[in-house]
Amino acid sequence: MEADVLARLVDALPEGVVVTGAAEMEKYREDFARDGSAGTPAAVVRAEDAAQVQVAVRWAAEHRVPVVPRGAGTGLSGGSSAVEGGITISLERMRAVEIDQACQVAIVEPGALNVDVKIAAAEHGLWYPPDPSSYEICSIGGNLATNAGGLCCVKYGVTTDYVLGMDVVLADGTLVRLGGKQIKDVAGLPLLKLFVGSEGTLGIITRAVLRLVPVQVAGATLVSAFPTMTAASRAVVAIRQRVRASMLELMDNTAINAVEDWRSHGLDRATGALLLAQSDATGAACEAEIEMIRECCEREGAAAVFTTTDPEEAELFVAARRNAFLALEQRGSVLFEDVGVPVPLLPALVDGVAGIAERCGVEIAVVAHAGDGNTHPLIVYDAADPGSDERARKAFHEVMALAIELGGTITGEHGVGRAKKPALPDQLGDDVMALTRRIKDALDPDGILNPGAIL
């Protein structure tokens, strides 16, 4: 890019909004996926409001410069990896959260963290359900861009289920306002839903209206130890037939030991697989649900079952599950899988992943939002060792191929980004890829928005 072109961007925005220093650029190059594709941006626009996003996008459109939108940079698929010579628009400064209690909605800027929305809602007795494990560090904008899931989704659904309205800056800099505070709205094409999960390839979200619901409290938590992931997965399938649990998570022996190595949560290192279930029913209904869950676990060979109604005790186990990513990262480099299958195929998926680990000679820890059939096989490897790197990447692609073979998906909640792009056509097929391309070309004819992500 010629210097005078960049200078025009710098001049068009208030001082400090556009940064170009090499050290700064380094900070914005990658997200948590560290997928290896990242270039160095020519500039980072740390926008303070939607108007500044529009200015930057208009400039990019005029000069055909790639634009990568970025929230907190905690993505696990390389969806906000910088493009060489492009600009990254960071939304980290736009973090206002306003609660409209009467309407039971949160009006949020994309840089606000998921936890900020939860805290603000709780002050009004309200709850924003979607809860990625990274909810304390990930941004709402990133959640919207990937249609993020989490632990409570098994009962309460994913991000798209809570979006009532959004402001989106399109590829030509136009800002469109979609939806609003009304709960039901079918006026016109469902454009709102098209942008949730579009990973910054169709527009940049600058504001969202999120639906809130009255606070729910987990009545009871059940923790069940199993000798194997297969047995634990079978229990999950059985539980889902009988109970609508508000949480249904799994972690395998490798994940348990990684968490214990990092910071002891009091887990038994000998456990083959740990199942965490919660019921947020009340009173006798809660007891009945927990009892049904216990029956399913015991029938599938649970070694030990523990239940508690103490929220603090429960949180120890849930935190262990949430911290698995962080703990695994202490052991080496990690490739983050996010494969999902129809729930009854969960045992086949975990068995298949174990086979891939053995065949490829890599360590794969598995944690899972098991009640939704969504698993995170985490491939731990040594990035400095070319052999280890190669084996890990082979396993990475084999796990995705396995999910597709089982009629599932390469990504349940993290997004395709750049890391999973090569496997996408295998899942979707040529016709759906062509349809995807048509939508992309219609909304971003010059291909400036997050080029290299998804397509």
Task: Report the run of H or E that residue 438 belongs to, with start and end.
Answer: helix 424-443
Tell whether residue 182 is a contact of its own copies (CB under 8 A).
yes
CB of residue 396 vs its own copies: minimum separation in angstroms? Answer: 15
Tell whether residue 55 is a contact of its own copies (CB under 8 A).
no
**Alpha-helix residue ranges (DSSP H) falling in 323-423:** 324-329, 346-360, 386-405
The structure tokens listed for 39 are 């270039």
| Residue among 8, 36, 174, 355 that touches its own copies (CB under 8 A) | 174
Tell whether residue 147 is a contact of its own copies (CB under 8 A).
yes
Q: Are strands 163-169 and 204-211 parallel, antiparallel or unpaired?
A: antiparallel
Nearest to 346, CA basis, from 276, 395, 427, 407: 407
CB of residue 74 vs its own copies: minimum separation in angstroms? Answer: 16
DSSP assignment of 126-158, as one string? EE-----TTTTT-BHHHHHHHT---STHHHH--
CB of residue 102 vs its own copies: minimum separation in angstroms? Answer: 4
| Residue among 93, 181, 265, 394 that touches its own copies (CB under 8 A) | 181
| Residue among 237, 274, 293, 366 that touches its own copies (CB under 8 A) | 237
CB of residue 66 vs its own copies: minimum separation in angstroms? Answer: 19
- The Cα-based distances of 185 to 100, 164, 179, 244, 412 in angstroms read 19, 9, 7, 28, 26
CB of residue 404 vs its own copies: minimum separation in angstroms? Answer: 9
Closer Cβ to its own copies, 3 or 102, answer by number? 102
DSSP 8-state secondary structure symbol assigned to residue 413 = S
| Residue among 60, 166, 170, 392 that touches its own copies (CB under 8 A) | 170
Task: Determine what percent of the chain falls in helix, strand and coil, rounding each to the nearest 5.
Answer: 40, 20, 40
Tell whether residue 104 is a contact of its own copies (CB under 8 A).
yes
Tell whether residue 161 is a contact of its own copies (CB under 8 A).
yes
Closer Cβ to its own copies, 41 or 69, answer by number? 69
Tell whether residue 204 is a contact of its own copies (CB under 8 A).
no
Tell whether residue 185 is a contact of its own copies (CB under 8 A).
yes
CB of residue 104 vs its own copies: minimum separation in angstroms? Answer: 7
Tell whether residue 196 is a contact of its own copies (CB under 8 A).
yes
Tell whether residue 173 is a contact of its own copies (CB under 8 A).
no
DSSP assignment of 233-269, as one string? HHHHHHHHHH---SEEEEEEHHHHHHHHHHS-----T
* Interaction residues for its own copies, span 396-415 (CB under 8 A): 407-415
Residue 378 in contact with residue 354, Cβ under 8 Å?
no
Tell whether residue 123 is a contact of its own copies (CB under 8 A).
no
Backbone angles phi, psi at 368, to 5 degrees: -155, 140
d(CA 101, CA 113): 19
* Interaction residues for its own copies, span 279-298 (CB under 8 A): 281-285
| Residue among 110, 111, 340, 347 that touches its own copies (CB under 8 A) | 340
Determine the 3-state secondary structure of 166 from DSSP: strand
d(CA 353, CA 103): 45
d(CA 57, CA 37): 23
Tell whether residue 443 is a contact of its own copies (CB under 8 A).
yes
Q: Which stretch binds its own copies (CB under 8 A): 3-11, 85-93, 112-120, 335-343?
A: 335-343
| Residue among 39, 157, 301, 332 that touches its own copies (CB under 8 A) | 157
